[in-house]
Amino acid sequence: MSLERAILEAVPALPAEKQQEVLNHAARLRDEAGSKSPFKTVRGLWADLGVSLSPEEIEQNQRDMWLNFPREDI
């Protein structure tokens, strides 16, 4: 049985006030789901800052960042 079907079968067995609570809760959940803004990519976050990094600059920064990272395999 699908979740939707289970919900549809459970609601009629509830008293009217509980059915109203279910309806209110479902409306609140729907509103919350619609109000979340999508995540921005890093490129999207930087778009208004005028930052532009080339792949080479990113690679060099990664090398510099990991240069002194402790390693156990050597």
pLDDT digits (tens, 9 = 90+) for 9-61: 999 999 999 999 999 999 999 888 877 676 777 777 777 887 778 899 999 99
**How many CB atoms sit inside 10 A of residue 59's CB?**
11
Residues of the domain holding 11: 3-35
For residue 22, being part of any structural domain is answered with: yes
> pTM for the whole thing?
0.45
For residue 57, being part of any structural domain is answered with: no
For residue 15, being part of any structural domain is answered with: yes
For residue 56, being part of any structural domain is answered with: no
What pLDDT score does 36 carry? Answer: 67
How many folded domains does the chain comprise? Answer: 1
For residue 20, being part of any structural domain is answered with: yes
Q: Going by C-beta distance under 8 Å and a sequence separation of 6 or more, which residues neighbour residue 5?
A: none
The DSSP secondary structure of 4-47, one letter per residue, reads: HHHHHHHGGGS-HHHHHHHHHHHHHHHHHHHHPPPPPPHHHHHG
Give ∠ CA 15-21-24 in degrees, rounded to 5: 145
